[in-house]
Amino acid sequence: MKICAVRGATTVDKNEKKDILSRTAALLKQMMDCNSLTLHDIISVIFTATKDIDAVYPAVAARELGMTGIPLMCCQEMDVTGSLPLCIRVLMHFQLTEVRAVQPVYLEKAVMLRPDLTGFAPGGDVNPDKKLTIAIDGPAGAGKSTIAKRLAEKLAILYLDTGAMYRAVGLKVMEAGGDPADPSDVIPLLDRTDVVVRYENGAQRVYLDGRDVTDKIRTQQISGAASAVAVIPEVRRKLVNLQREIASRTSLVMDGRDIGTYVLPDADVKIFLTASPEERARRRWEELRQKGMDQDYANVWKEITNRDHNDSNRSFAPLKKAKDAVWIDTTNKAIDEVITEIESLLQAQRG
């Protein structure tokens, strides 16, 4: 007999008993199926869960699958800042009569834990030889961030908000009393600027020089500052290098204004989202109202059109549709309609 071990992980949407047990059971079943294991082959199973999971022991799912005579243990996963939340990890020990390869299994958002092993494949199957990179470009208010977040969640891959990174740089310049449009005010700050995007408790947080600025960067003033600093080549080079590094390691959806043309020119799927200026201004106006910000629609429309002009006419990596990008007009379309349209593109690509 040969004693072996295999790893697996999954995530849950909520800290609820039903969700924990169903996701754990699905993970255990797939670990057994992928490795052709029976209950008699399993020696022991160790479960770890992040500290935000405490509604039920994951091992209960194993007992319900018939692992009544197998030693099981539940532990709390080490709490590391920025680690994947609501995550259950499994280490399964088993015996084999012959030597053969074993297959780790990573499901749901846990696919991000092992980008070297996982990727997007039909039906959520493990595909160790393929990463999926999706580039979504378009003007302000076209719905890029909303669509990208929802798509990434549905595909269980990473969403990287590039706009938040530029907003953070714009915030730093403004806090320093500088002009975001003046390179002489911006460039000297770059070497002392650290921007980090993390996912904590299922939500994206943006850190500037170690300080959480997630809420501070979501204002119209910072939006304009982001557009201004994004024109400066030195700023773009600094942030693009970081974005490319992340894309080289994991499957992701990235949205911005030059993702398909400059940041990820070899992305597997490129999409250009747009909508009429009136529609985009209306969306932004309603978003601001929901946040309690009383803005005049005419001013919002003017800011939208000004930003369109700045983004499309900047000399370095301007906003434009990549030649191989699919054009999608989101005017009068619901979010789910657009997601379905993109999923159809993915299905067509996979044949």
Active site positions, annotated: 7, 63, 74, 77, 89, 106, 114
Q: Return d(Cα 241, Cα 345) in angstroms, integer.
A: 28
The dihedrals phi and psi of 35, each to the nearest 5 degrees, come to: -110, 10
Place of tokens 């080079």: 237
Which of 141, 136, 138 is CA-nearest to residue 303?
A: 141
Copy the structure tokens of residue 10: 């999954």
Which amino acid is it at 253?
A: V
Q: 3-class SS at 223?
A: helix
Q: Return d(Cα 176, Cα 155) in angstroms, integer.
A: 40
The neighbour count for residue 49, using CB atoms within 10 Å, is 23
Burial of 45 (0-12, 13-18, 19+ CB in 10 A): buried
Cα four-point dihedral sign 262, 265, 267, 273: positive
List, in order, residues 6 or more apart from 332 with CB less than 8 Å away: 279
The neighbour count for residue 289, using CB atoms within 10 Å, is 13
Which of 337, 327, 208 is CA-nearest to residue 271?
A: 327
